[in-house]
Structure 1
């Protein structure tokens, strides 16, 4: 049985056919281990890599602590050997997937199956390859050995930095590789590929010590390839080497083989037949993998059909496969594109094979005698030798081509057929090979980009080709090689920017092709028109109507939008026909389990042209409106609750289609469609953290709904729509939020209610936002609800309010209760959000271990909803927690990602993420003792906010406060620099308070106070007399107030205990004790008021602006 290997995903023989398991530990090259995201990544740290290798060399065996210590520290073991090993194991477990490393009473072992460790997998594949060869299955043996050899990714042990383990691994890997290479060489020879066997055996025979097994294979392969003299010279060379190096002679077996070759006379080799192969005008780009796969497919199956839409390059690929079939005695290509009837196929086959069609000019081709005579001659000619028959362009004569190919395969034993077609032949034994478009994103741009660049430079050598624009062009052209070549030809008279702008009418643009191209390939329109003309009227109607779906569709959507009562066949039958013609692709959605159909964008745009020509635009638009509104109302109520994940998967699949209809409904002034769609999509976006989508559409939606009087389910949907607008816009566009609240109150006054208790709770909470007492009473009722999901939501809102108030203890209590209730209710979003809040609360309280644990819990639930924004927030919490724990390597992997986020994709969120990333790297530098680098990185972090709208944002203030502390704690702080930072942070806090006096984020204010306190300590230390005392008193009070306001403690530089110790050393502990005593009785509101009094103190203002 063959095995297919890809790094991280390996298919291996097992008791279950085609079983698939993931390689979790890889040592045949740089050491890799499965991470928490289940992807293989380099193991960090030389000791971690050495530990994995030590365990890999004893697979499934338990190595004791002393054995591992001896292996890892052979010269100087650590003082606390067991503790050091446990620390190493702990770090490796933190960075690796669950269950990779296992503790046992006797020590540690890799808890992975043989197929999950590349070294063990290679050994198993070697045993299988050797067994297959002994059983006479050379093809399987060669594939198995090649599969195993593909596991090597470099020099095993090269990245260890551990001489003994590296040497042991390298020796084991080298010995195994030699055995695999030997099996592969023997298999190639047994399969008849003597040339490849000789090349492989020759490389091994000439390297390292003499291995006579390779020499034997080399001699036999050379002889089999007609190179007997070369085989004899190989024997002479090894005989001389053995005499010179070892003073010995070749073995008796090798000497006997040499004698046999001296006696033998070469046998004549059969002549090769090649008919119909075309010389390639230029390089075939991006299809090497397809050629290799098709060579394997034609070797395993007697009928293989390359299936795909027009313009994909099926003909060119088939010609490449024919040219690469060197071991096949006869390769014959028959082209059907120019034929018009099924009977023409007989004549085409006969003409290609050089067979005269009849014995008498009076007989016609359609006469039975002639057809019988030709059929017999054709079958006899094809069956004379092993033959690969390529039948190109079968789709327009599909019945006749299928009959002939089936007849050839049934009547001969030596012929294999490779067909190309836009539709399957649908005959027994056919193996389909769906041809994919060229990718534009792999490697340095992908084969699509390479193709465009090569053809464009051939058209105009000096043309400027920005690769990002070329990649977009290729993506919009669906990766169709023909379309890409037609577009590249346009560079003779246009820039690529102009081509991209004009691509909206691709059928008018892409009309220039070589004069030698077939008529069906002269223009892009001709390519699609060729397939269109093969369709029936019902299939054409379906294609043009389904073109209104920009992102695919399922059967229900197709029936709703494109079904016609008077259609002769049902939608499913017509759809099946379109799939058969390669005009529609079908895939199974892994998340929903439903089949999903898609058109290439080129086909879809052709369909839209036909839709306009048929005058059906308005009919299809109304059908799409009905489908989308119905979909929204069907799934809206289940966006919260136990079916939430499944519903989100359904919305995922239809998202782009729903958004397209939503935009059209807004433009058309259809509030009856806008209302349910925005309710569904708006809530979906909010749960995913995609709040910018809501912000973008909210004003336009509100205008659309202004005079709308909804009824029934639409009225309930309107409640949800206004709730989303109000809740999202409350801290941005206050006017829009207030208008939404007024609409909610009007609907509630009319007796309208949301469809579910959860949506009702959200609506009521939004309506009470300006009525604090009413809102607090409502929250109390929500927390006491007998509906678990409603109570969980009430506790969730309460925890956020308590955190903003600085009451961390109450916030933790509410969050834990919310999580427990959400678990009971099966509410995934509430579980993920409450888990995220618990991680955040523990983080800002300085509890890194708890932060990591709750982040793991939250990630599981938020990941199910693909809430990427919330997951990114968990990432920085985890990263900073690892900094606090001293695990700098793990933390660095998080923050390295943050500093490279793309602002074009994440908008202003990218600014915060980059700022957090640079701040995290700064803390790592400080943690490892490079404070100068840490201060530089803090400058970079704050520089991210220059010329941005976030100069007063919470993270700017937090990072600024931490940067001040980092400077203050340096051996020689720059007083002027620290003063400038303090001025910027103080200004940001005061300006924010002036603009939004009713909203105070107390932990952020507390973080700013820590920075200000650190600066004041620095200034006080440099002062004397009364100013020193005054500045010390203000510093103490700012530090004491930061505790009352629950300042963040997850950034190490902001830790209050460290600043308190510094304060006590410089200014005395009594001042801080007095400040704590003065602030202890203050309420939270009084603490805020007192904080701003401190920030506005004349001594501080005068010092900052002097």
Structure 2
């Protein structure tokens, strides 16, 4: 007898398919098959069979359905009655869902242990058991959802196995992405598959598609994991470096001493999967060049990527020889078993050509070349196993003392470190005796937890859910609250937003649900995702970060600006999150946040990053004559901002309004009557405002009167104000003006370098790009080659920050260099490229006029 629930419910005997009967017997069979071999309580069967409207005599009704099912199956003994309920008396492998789960678990375990071929075979067999949607013809939505999630996890694991084997089907993954557009893991797989197929541009476009969908559907940026895949593809990488180790290293002291004592230049760590070969290699060679070969098809290419090198016309092995032959280095080749021949060939070549190189390999089998020394990594012995269990147990239960059950747990887990660590986590609420007694039932769960190093994996969810159940109410509340924070949280934020004290936070750190690093508290992505389902504190989160932004804004223009800029940068993700949430739920708060954050965003060079949310907010707030609204217009609709600015009367609290006005409309006309806002600035006693006014006066004096001496005097007065404040941005602006006013080109260059140093301390991308262009302009007659390098650097900075005007000027500068070098065709092409930059505001219009003038001059030169 076999029962199938992975599709329409069916039962088959050796004679063929059995007619089960109507909906109720089919549903009853499905409910028993889901828990095959277990006694299913009567009340649970009634609830799931009849829902919210059970018959008056539910027990008799259920018994009648059982009788019908027994008659249909032809063997009354298949549905056993027990005082507590009913049981389907079949072996688990006689139900397709349980055969699927076992095959999928074995396949995922094989994948975790590096055996991609076995994983592909097992997972393919598992997925072939499906005949359609789970429980397709019976009403059991909870069970169906769980089974479909298992199917999705197995499908994802199969794709991962095929990626490692280099046989992934791009079209198949694209279809999966269409079915699950918000699954970042699948999108990462698609990017890797495209990259493996030599379609790098499409892989990068796939990332942009993911970014757009996540922003539109969830209002979030791609996860760190997906951004890492993107970065690897940009660098030509196909693998990841191993993660930093978060726990202490226990045991293996004999192996460490042996590795340290070996004089062989090739040592291979061998042992079964899960024995800890990689962890031992990292511990033995912490500064080594680490090459993860698990996903690689070409060992030499993977090694090049680990070194940050690109392939050239040279053969990869020769390229590696050139890079390594003069270096005293250790190269770790990890997970060699599936490319053992290539790994052996590369190791032999490099050891023969690079006399100071040593290689530490990990593999389930030796490389098999002359000079290789093997260092077996067997399961931990009894003493080491207990020591590892005790160490990990004390992370969650500081008073833990090992006992006789501890040794039994370690023995039954075969001394494998990964399984021991997972079991040790359970001592939070279970005794070692209880853990030992549950190992038969929990072993598969522990294996799944081991595989759950992959974020957002269904099996990891099961582990986190169990951990969640072990928390106190306060710990659950704080964990859920902390999960609201996109970028982690400081202790101050935790106390103010979540309302819990440090003792509860310490408890979460002790239980490994929260990491404490450099004064910030963070959750792993999967734990945070789970906890966030239970509670959100977005309103409190937004209120806290509005207050922080208001406190920080004036400090960003004072002596302590670097410390405050660092603090705001650390909270960048939370600040953007607060604006995005408030835009949807509290537009007035969002408008206040935009006003308070505008200067930070400007200095940091993040205006382009927040452009989309600014446009969304603009559509949700009414028009008003306030500096917050003017700031929003400057970010979202710059062509509309001047009308509001001319109506503002001051006093100004957020100087970005003034900078935006200058950027969009240019310097004020000295002959025009002042607006109320300009009058308010002119009479302000704020020293920063006075410095900005002096900057403006110095510039306009020179432009309108040509009085160089007066302009320099005004600039130096303004410079003194910014220096008294310790304000680097304003100081850099004045120094740049002085560089423009001096008649000594070398002094101009020195002043520009001084301005660059000031904005470099701030990390002000926009100013760095603009100053780099002006430095290049001032170098044109002094050092053309250096000028070209500066233009290209400015172009790169402007591209990253989305600065069309600076791109225009940098490209025009490169055109001038091409013209001076006698290449008018190249100069013309670059000028046309600069003409095509789409931007707005006075400065962009000025830059475009320069381009048009250069094109006209070039045309006249050719005509002559």
**TM-score bracket relative to the smaller structure:** 0.3 to 0.5
* Larger relative contact order (CA 8 Å, sep ≥ 6): 2
Q: Scaled by the length of structure 2, what TM-score is found?
A: 0.48
Q: Scaled by the length of structure 1, what TM-score is found?
A: 0.38
Q: Which has the larger radius of gyration?
A: 1
